[in-house]
């Protein structure tokens, strides 16, 4: 059994070095990416959507050419455990999601996914075993068409100097940059 | 000259394999991460902020333990070319930004950063040379205190089943998941 071009063990090592821990969600994410790719036509250029911020974006970043920084992966904060890979020009794609209906035979995955046990009571070995045994068996696939206008994938446009902080920012954001418009997470330092 | 534990050449190879291209912004990002780390106390656990979605998040993900999926990197869409590394418990940190004032002696970096030339007229070799020669010389550092309440770093909380799509979602999002509340980027497929 493989995830992408990796053995399960090598994938777990890779996840550990990038993500810090071999979190269950990224292991499942590996099967999700594989399943989605199997349903895409070969050789197309695809972009990715990840419907949760938790864990799953890292599986996409490790197993596809799509990253947050290159803009080919878009992370949407729906909190749904799903990814979509789609033709970057046409928008036709495949959505893969963890299907709650299919968790009935996998009690450790079910209780982890629905947070039915405190973390300290989880049996992480059993959870990992079930994830590997289940593989794509807990996932469902649907064909989708992505409305790219909803992804806000526009360039930065012209660059201006913010009269407030002095830094460069996208002129289209307004008279000052969005941080100076009240978005800054910083209290003034020394 | 090194970036993190890498030679410049090895870092460029790493960036190419993860990001797809050795984009100028990620090369500068390497110097930014190094400079920020030099100003952090040794041995602290830090989280990261990236103030632009373009390129820079990948430098942080490659050179620190912070990724989008593990939640230690937060990407803010200000379009400012800046990162911040900060003590994850106390909020005290260091912000590093590309300082427009310091670009005067680096015409290729200046025209790339302010988009003064069409991409086809850029001299990418000269740009890379100037970035490597300039190193941290085009950056400035400031101490900041991060107001973590502004970063929306809350857990998902209890998980519910969406009565509309049937998938699991964070119950706190409302009676249905945010995708079913109108956020979905998909047109229905076959």
Q: Using an 8 Å CB-CB cutoff, list chain A residues near B117.
A: none
User: Best mutation site among A22, A56, A70, A79 for testing chain B: the one with the most B CBs within 10 Å?
Assistant: A79
CB A127 within 8 A of CB A109: yes
Q: Using an 8 Å CB-CB cutoff, list chain B residues near A185.
A: 49, 76, 146-148, 150-151
Main-chain phi, psi angles of A142, to 5 degrees:
-140, 150
> Distance, in angstroms, between A173 CA and closest chain B CA?
9
> Distance, in angstroms, between A133 CA and closest chain B CA?
22
Q: CB distance B57–A79 less than 8 Å?
A: no
Nearest CB partner across the interface for A186, out of B59, B147, B177: B147
Main-chain phi, psi angles of B134, to 5 degrees:
-70, -40
Task: State the Cα–Cα distance between residues B173 and B169, nearest whole angstrom.
Answer: 8
Q: CB distance A68–B61 less than 8 Å?
A: yes
What integer best gives the mean pLDDT of chain B? 94
Closest residue on chain B to A178 (Cα): B78
Residue A110 is inside which H or E element, if any? helix A107-113
Q: CB distance A159–B113 less than 8 Å?
A: yes
Is residue B23 predicted with pLDDT exceeding 60? yes
Low-confidence ranges of chain A (pLDDT < 50): 189-190
DSSP B188: P
Alpha carbon of A69 to those of A14, B22, B23, B78, B136: distances in Å?
19, 12, 10, 14, 21
Q: Is the pTM of this model over 0.80?
A: yes
Q: What Rg do the C-alpha atoms of chain B give, in angstroms?
A: 20
Task: State the Cα–Cα distance between residues B185 and A134, nearest whole angstrom.
Answer: 29
CB B95 within 8 A of CB B47: no
Task: State the Cα–Cα distance between residues A151 and B129, nearest whole angstrom.
Answer: 35
CB B56 within 8 A of CB B101: no
Is residue B154 predicted with pLDDT exceeding 80? no
Closest residue on chain B to A69 (Cα): B55
Nearest CB partner across the interface for A144, out of B71, B162, B186: B186
Average pLDDT over residues B30-34: 98
Task: State the Cα–Cα distance between residues A9 and A155, nearest whole angstrom.
Answer: 39
CB A142 within 8 A of CB B189: yes
Q: What is the pLDDT of residue A155?
A: 76
Is residue B60 predicted with pLDDT exceeding 70? yes
Q: Using an 8 Å CB-CB cutoff, list chain A residues near B187.
A: 144-147
Main-chain phi, psi angles of B99, to 5 degrees:
-95, 110
Nearest CB partner across the interface for A68, out of B75, B113, B178: B75
The full DSSP string for B6-58 is EEHHHHHHHHHHHHSS--HHHHHHHHHHHHHHHTSPTT--EEEEES-SSSHHH
For the stretch B74-107, pLDDT in tens is: 999 999 999 999 999 999 999 999 999 999 899 9
Q: Using an 8 Å CB-CB cutoff, list chain B residues near A184.
A: 150
Q: What is the pLDDT of residue B73?
A: 97
Task: State the Cα–Cα distance between residues B49 and B86, nearest whole angstrom.
Answer: 8
Is residue B57 predicted with pLDDT exceeding 80? yes
Half-sphere exposure of B139 (CA within 13 A, CB side): 27
User: Best mutation site among B88, B185, B189, B190 for testing chain A: the one with the most A CBs within 10 Å?
Assistant: B185
CA B15 to chain centre: 14
Q: CB distance B53–A69 less than 8 Å?
A: yes
Closest residue on chain B to A156 (Cα): B79
In this structure, the number of other CB atoms found within 10 A of the CB of residue A43 comes to: 5
Q: CB distance A18–B61 less than 8 Å?
A: yes
Task: State the Cα–Cα distance between residues A6 and A2, nearest whole angstrom.
Answer: 6
For the stretch B99-142, pLDDT in tens is: 999 998 999 999 999 999 888 898 999 999 999 999 999 999 99
Task: State the Cα–Cα distance between residues A180 and B50, nearest whole angstrom.
Answer: 16
């Amino acid at each position: 059994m493989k995830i992408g071009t990796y053995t399960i063990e090598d994938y777990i090592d890779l996840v550990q070095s990038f993500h810090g821990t071999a979190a269950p969600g990224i292991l499942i994410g590996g099967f999700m990416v594989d399943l989605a790719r199997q349903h895409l036509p070969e050789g197309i250029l695809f972009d990715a959507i990840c419907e949760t911020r938790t864990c799953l974006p890292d599986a996409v970043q490790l197993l596809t050419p799509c990253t947050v920084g290159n803009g080919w992966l878009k992370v949407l904060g729906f909190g749904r455990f799903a990814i979509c890979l789609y033709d970057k020009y046409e928008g036709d794609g495949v959505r893969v999601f963890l299907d709650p209906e299919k968790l009935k035979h996998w009690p450790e995955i079910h209780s982890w996914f629905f947070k039915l046990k405190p973390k300290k009571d989880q049996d992480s070995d059993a959870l990992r075993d079930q994830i590997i045994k289940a593989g794509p068996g807990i996932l469902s696939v649907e064909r989708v068409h992505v409305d790219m206008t909803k992804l806000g994938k526009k360039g930065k446009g012209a660059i201006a100097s913010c009269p407030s902080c002095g830094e460069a920012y996208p002129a289209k954001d307004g008279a000052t940059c969005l941080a100076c418009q009240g978005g800054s997470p910083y209290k003034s330092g020394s």
